[in-house]
């Protein structure tokens, strides 16, 4: 992958990547949606090259054996980090951040490249197309949300419900934050979930919450919360990783999810 491109436009507020063009887009539909926000001073744009010139860089570190994290510092967009799920049959990049540079590319190439790229929801599509192009990887997006990809590309393959992207690695559509909000389940070593913010891990790493919009403080309704829990009910998992470096649930994640959902619904109904 060459140095960050000067013609790829990035919305620094939500992290969406836009197609190569000499001028920035007129607006960012993701930021104008009620789940996100436009800065009070107005829409801002940066090229990926400009971000690099301002000192933005990738940060790569192991999360656990078989999971390689890729973050961005200083933060861009919603500040999330991506995860490369390493398997003998190929690797999948989950929730790619909005910026990518040579250091991140070299780390992924050294880990065996990518067979696929996917995301939990549109706020974490990030630089998915750049990664897809760099490694000839499929871009797997839930059909319900694929229209939110601000940089359309022929590499996109849509799916719905669930998809075994690689042996032992399953993408599960849960809904909630977006109709196509999804999680990634890996079955090894007691099982784990990568959840983005489909389920929002709280600071104490001992419960989760359910959010329609985190920045705008909008809760998820009961019916959608139940849908999220039911979608992952068939899967066993001990660990849960959100869309950021921390917090992390390292044990009894499924039990914590179920108990948290029950309490969340009680509070929605006024039982506090």
Tens-place pLDDT, residues 228-265: 999 999 999 999 999 999 999 999 999 999 999 999 99
Predicted local confidence at residue 5, as pLDDT: 79
What is the Cα–Cα distance from 67 to 181, expressed in whole angstroms? 21
Q: Across residues 21-48, what is the average pLDDT?
A: 96
What is the Cα–Cα distance from 158 to 144, expressed in whole angstroms? 9
Predicted local confidence at residue 6, as pLDDT: 83
Predicted local confidence at residue 185, as pLDDT: 98
- Decide if pLDDT at 1 tops 70: no
Angle between helices 102-110 and 128-135 (to 10 degrees): 50
User: How far is residue 176 CA from its own chain's centroid?
Assistant: 14
What is the Cα–Cα distance from 27 to 24, expressed in whole angstroms? 8
Q: Across residues 208-222, what is the average pLDDT?
A: 96
Predicted local confidence at residue 2, as pLDDT: 56
Lowest mean pLDDT among 3-7, 61-65, 69-73, 136-140: 3-7
User: How many Cα atoms are found within 13 Å in the side-chain-facing hemisphere of 218?
Assistant: 13
Beta strands in the chain (DSSP E): 9-10, 17-18, 46-47, 57-64, 67-73, 82-87, 90-94, 116-118, 138-142, 156-159, 162-166, 169-173, 182-186, 192-196, 200-201, 208-209, 211-213, 218-219, 239-242, 248-249
Predicted local confidence at residue 4, as pLDDT: 78
Going from the C-alpha of 138 to that of each of 74, 87, 142, 169, 253, the distances in angstroms are: 28, 16, 13, 15, 30
What is the chain's mean pLDDT, rounded?
Answer: 96
Domains of the chain: 9-268 (3.60.15.10)
* Local structure of 206: helix, strand or coil: coil
> What is the distance in angstroms between the CA of the first residue and the CA of the last residue of the chain?
53
Q: Are 153 and 136 in contact (CB under 8 A)?
A: no
Predicted local confidence at residue 72, as pLDDT: 98
- Decide if pLDDT at 49 tops 60: yes
Predicted local confidence at residue 45, as pLDDT: 97
Lowest mean pLDDT among 4-8, 21-25, 163-167, 183-187: 4-8
pLDDT in tens, 77-106: 999 999 999 999 999 999 999 999 999 999
Q: Are 114 and 133 in contact (CB under 8 A)?
A: no
- Decide if pLDDT at 107 tops 70: yes
């Amino acid at each position: 992958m060459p140095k960050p491109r000067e013609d790829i436009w990035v919305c620094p507020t939500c992290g969406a990547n836009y197609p190569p063009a000499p001028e920035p887009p007129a607006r960012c539909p993701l930021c104008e949606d009620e789940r996100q926000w436009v800065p009070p001073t107005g829409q801002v744009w940066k090229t990926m090259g400009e971000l690099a010139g301002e000192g933005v860089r990738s940060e790569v570190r192991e999360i656990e054996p078989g999971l390689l994290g890729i973050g961005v510092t200083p933060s861009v967009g919603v500040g999330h980090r991506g995860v490369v799920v390493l398997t003998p049959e190929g690797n999948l990049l989950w929730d790619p951040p909005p910026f990518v540079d040579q250091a991140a590319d070299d780390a992924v190439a050294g880990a065996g490249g990518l067979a696929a790229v996917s995301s939990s929801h549109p706020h974490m599509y990030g630089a998915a197309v750049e990664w897809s192009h760099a490694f000839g990887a499929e871009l797997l997006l839930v059909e319900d949300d694929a229209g939110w990809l601000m940089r359309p590309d022929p590499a996109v393959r849509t799916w719905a419900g669930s998809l075994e992207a690689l042996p032992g690695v399953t993408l599960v559509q849960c809904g909630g934050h977006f109709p196509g909000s999804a999680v990634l389940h890996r079955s090894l070593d007691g099982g784990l979930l990568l959840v983005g913010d489909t389920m929002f891990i709280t600071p104490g790493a001992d419960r989760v919450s359910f959010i329609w919009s985190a920045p705008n403080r909008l809760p998820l309704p009961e019916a959608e919360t139940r849908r999220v829990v039911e979608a992952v009910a068939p899967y066993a998992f001990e660990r849960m990783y959100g869309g950021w470096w921390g917090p992390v649930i390292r044990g009894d994640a499924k039990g914590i999810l179920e108990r948290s959902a029950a309490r969340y619904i009680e509070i929605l109904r006024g039982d506090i």
